[in-house]
């Protein structure tokens, strides 16, 4: 009797141990990491109306339990700096130093990366940051967005979405902060964006608030109550060390602010807050000769460049519609109707 009782006790104890270890391990797609481990796998997007795709994912599970941070990059697969920054972080993050769990997705849009196609997923010609929360029975972009919403957004506490200047965009680094009106959440997301340290921050208001039509990844997380930011660095196919470092060190700063890494964050003290964006759009095809560079401050009415036809005859002189900062400008001579010639940011009259 006594013997059977102690066997039972030992059995229960072992079961408890197994369960508690299992409870602390963290799985995303095919990647499972026990506490203190780093694991790689895939988010498997099944075939549907078009082909399947496997999105790489890494789980870094800290020795100490805590909150879950998701880092997602490469929705636009030729915004290389952001992708390389996450690759660096995969190597750099040490589970022994980490409190909580980090999910890293370095490259959402694999077809864009491999085929060197900017802006869209060449499989279905859709931007992979416009169709959230996605659809299980949609095209590949929608099915991938659906899986990311379910496997990553729904399971994280905080999210950072990484972008940059695409192949045809000369971009100066900046972040987006999207206040929701929920005070505690907005305070935390603001702390995240300041700790990240990029010196231009766009206040992104008036975004979709319907959870079924959130469009953007960070907004999908924000609407679901998770503090989220967007960060952008890099330009026109380049991978410059300074740009990569902005994203890598910024991430570590935000993780310190979230108490996921030891050490004090060094938040940016007086960033340039941008309250409004103004796009300059091409109204026809032509050859673009810019007069401004990324980061240039322009006054309303200033000439941004000239556009000629294919015989060299001037056909347009786009001007700045507002006074502000050139956040990005078309980096290549090619222009077709509807292309973005420049994106100007109007500096906010006061910090939020």
Q: How far is the CB of 115 from Zn ion (least distance, A)?
A: 16
Q: How far is the CB of 332 from Zn ion (least distance, A)?
A: 17
Q: How far is the CB of 194 from Zn ion (least distance, A)?
A: 22
Q: How far is the CB of 210 from Zn ion (least distance, A)?
A: 23
Q: Which residue has the tokens 């279905």?
A: 124
Nearer to Zn ion, 40 or 239 (CB): 239
Q: How far is the CB of 169 from Zn ion (least distance, A)?
A: 9
Site string for Zn ion, 225-254 (x = CB under 5 A): ------------------------------
β-strand 200-203 against 314-316: which pairing, if any? unpaired
Nearer to Zn ion, 79 or 124 (CB): 79
Nearer to Zn ion, 106 or 286 (CB): 106
Give the rounded distance of the alpha carbon of 329 from its chain centre. Answer: 20
Return all residues near 86 (Cβ < 8 A) that are at least 6 apart: 71, 73, 74, 104, 105, 106, 107, 162
Cα 218 from Cα 227, distance rounded (Å): 9
Q: How far is the CB of 75 from Zn ion (least distance, A)?
A: 6
Closest CA to 142 of 162, 160, 120, 161: 120
Nearer to Zn ion, 151 or 161 (CB): 161
Contact call for residue 76 and Zn ion (CB under 5 A): yes
Closest CA to 317 of 326, 307, 309: 307
Interface residue with Zn ion among 126, 143, 163, 200 (CB under 5 A) is 163
Q: How far is the CB of 216 from Zn ion (least distance, A)?
A: 10
Choices 23-31, 155-163, 168-176, 319-327; region in contact with Zn ion by CB under 5 A = 155-163
Integer Rg of the chain from CA: 23
Nearer to Zn ion, 163 or 200 (CB): 163
Return all residues near 159 (Cβ < 8 A) that are at least 6 apart: 69, 70, 71, 72, 152, 153, 217, 218, 221, 226, 227, 228, 229
Nearer to Zn ion, 68 or 70 (CB): 70
Closest CA to 108 of 146, 69, 61, 60: 146
Choices 42-50, 78-86, 178-186, 296-304; region in contact with Zn ion by CB under 5 A = 78-86
- Nearest residue (beta carbon) to Zn ion: 163
Closest CA to 170 of 6, 352, 332: 332
Q: How many CA atoms lie within 13 A of 278 on its CB side?
A: 18
Q: Which residues of 141-150 are buried (b: 16+ CB within 10 A; e: fewer)?
A: bbbbbbbbbe
Choices 96-104, 157-165, 233-241, 242-250; region in contact with Zn ion by CB under 5 A = 157-165
Summarize as ranges the residues that interact with Zn ion (CB under 5 A).
Answer: 76, 79, 163
């Amino acid at each position: 009797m006594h013997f059977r009782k102690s066997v039972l006790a030992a059995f229960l104890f072992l079961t408890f141990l197994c369960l508690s270890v299992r409870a602390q391990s963290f799985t995303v797609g095919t990647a499972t990491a026990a506490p203190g481990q780093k694991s790689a796998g895939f988010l498997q997007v099944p075939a549907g109306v078009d082909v399947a795709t496997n999105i790489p994912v890494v789980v870094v599970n800290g020795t100490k339990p805590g909150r879950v941070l998701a880092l997602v990059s490469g929705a636009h697969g030729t915004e290389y700096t952001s992708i390389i920054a996450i690759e660096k972080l995969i190597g750099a993050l040490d589970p022994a130093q980490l409190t909580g769990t980090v999910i890293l997705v370095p490259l959402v849009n694999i077809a864009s990366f491999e085929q060197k196609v900017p802006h869209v997923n060449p499989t279905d010609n859709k931007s992979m940051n416009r169709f959230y929360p996605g659809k299980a029975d949609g095209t590949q972009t929608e099915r991938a967005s659906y899986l990311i919403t379910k496997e990553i957004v729904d399971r994280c506490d905080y999210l950072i979405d990484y972008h940059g200047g695409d192949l045809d965009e000369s971009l100066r680094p900046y972040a987006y902060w999207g206040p929701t009106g929920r005070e505690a959440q907005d305070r935390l997301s603001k702390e995240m964006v300041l700790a990240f340290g990029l010196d231009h921050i766009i206040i992104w208001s008036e975004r979709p608030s319907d959870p079924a039509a959130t469009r953007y990844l960070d907004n999908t997380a924000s609407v679901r109550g998770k503090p989220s930011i967007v960060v952008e660095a890099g330009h026109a196919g380049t991978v410059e060390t300074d740009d990569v470092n902005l994203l890598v060190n910024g991430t570590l700063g935000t993780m310190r602010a979230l108490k996921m890494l030891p050490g004090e964050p060094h938040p940016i003290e007086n960033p340039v807050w941008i309250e409004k964006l103004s796009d300059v759009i091409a109204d026809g095809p032509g050859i673009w000769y810019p007069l401004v560079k990324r980061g240039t401050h322009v006054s309303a009415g200033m000439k941004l460049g000239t556009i000629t036809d294919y015989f060299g005859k001037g056909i347009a002189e786009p001007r700045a519609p507002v006074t502000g900062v050139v956040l990005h400008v078309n980096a290549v001579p090619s222009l077709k109707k509807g292309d973005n010639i420049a994106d100007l940011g109007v500096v906010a009259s006061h910090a939020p």
